[in-house]
Every structure is written in C-alpha cells, then in structure tokens.
C-alpha cells in the first residue's frame, strides 16, 4: 500500500499535487486500486482525466470528494473538472463513491454531481455527518476485496 504525502497539505495547490501524482504513478507497475479522500479525491479525478497513466486501474474509490465549480461555496478553477471529464478517464473496471448524507464539510449534493457524469459508479451513502470516517469505512474494505 502506498499513501503518498502531498505537498503543503495546509495550503494545497493543484500544480504541486499533480506533480506529486505524476511522480507516484511513474513509480508504479501493474494493476492498481486507487483511493482518494476529500480534496485528494477530486484532485485524483482531475489528474486521471487530464493525464494518461500506463497502469490498469481495477478500482477507483472516492470518499467524500467535493465537486468543484457547481456550488457557490465550491469555486476553485484549479480543481474544477472539465465538463467532459468522465469521457477522458482511463478505463477503470469499477468506480465507487462514499458520502455521508450530512457531511459537515462536503455537501451531499456533490455526490449527485458525480453520479450525473458517472452513472455506472456505485454509490454508498451513510447516515450521519462523517467526513473523515475516523471509525473506519468497512464498506470500502468490502468493496476493495470484491474488486
């Protein structure tokens, strides 16, 4: 398992995170399972829709990822996906989204924006306001085992 440290996480910049992702993907071989949480999830989707990766991705798992550019409070051009981003993603066997109904950080409506663009994705919704899932996310583990 690889969990790369992203540059300057308290003041994130897409260009720096993109460079880190390029470095990480360049060092990997074989089939991948890729997980992104919150901003990391939205950055990962943007990266995968803009760059080509040589690896096969068997599963893409997005946890509480914001969809930039739709809501007034979520405007940041550097993170905004292209309108046709879903068509530009590499072939991914399975895509999963996980989101709490009352997420206190990323509004639940953001999940709907993703599902409009990626109707083939599996969505897992949870009661409560979890964003960080500090007590774990057993559904994620089960879905990874099944992919």
* DSSP secondary structure, 71-85, as one string: STT---TTTPPPTTH
pLDDT of residue 38: 98
What order of strands is seen across the sheet that includes strand 92-100?
31-37, 56-63, 92-100, 122-126
Distance CA 24, CA 2 (A): 9
- Residue given tokens 């879905």 in the structure block: 143
pLDDT of residue 1: 79
Q: What is the pTM of this model?
A: 0.96
Its sign, for the CA torsion 13, 18, 23, 25, is positive
**Helix axes of 14-26 and 39-50: crossing angle, nearest 10 degrees:** 70
Q: Which residue ranges in the chain fall short of pLDDT 70? A: none
């Amino acid at each position: 398992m690889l969990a790369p440290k992203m540059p300057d996480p308290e003041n994130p910049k897409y260009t720096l995170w993109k460079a880190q992702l390029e470095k990480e993907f360049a060092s990997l071989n074989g089939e991948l399972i890729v997980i992104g949480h919150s901003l990391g999830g939205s950055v990962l989707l943007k990266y995968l829709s803009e760059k080509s990766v040589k690896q096969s991705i068997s599963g893409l798992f997005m946890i509480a990822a914001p969809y930039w550019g739709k809501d007034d409070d979520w405007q940041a051009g550097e993170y905004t996906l292209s309108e046709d981003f879903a068509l530009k993603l590499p072939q991914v066997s399975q895509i999963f989204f996980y989101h709490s109904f009352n997420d206190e950080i990323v509004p639940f409506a953001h999940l709907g924006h993703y599902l409009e663009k990626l109707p083939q994705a599996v969505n897992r919704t949870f009661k409560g306001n979890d964003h960080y899932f500090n007590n774990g996310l057993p559904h994620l583990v089960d879905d990874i085992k099944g992919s």
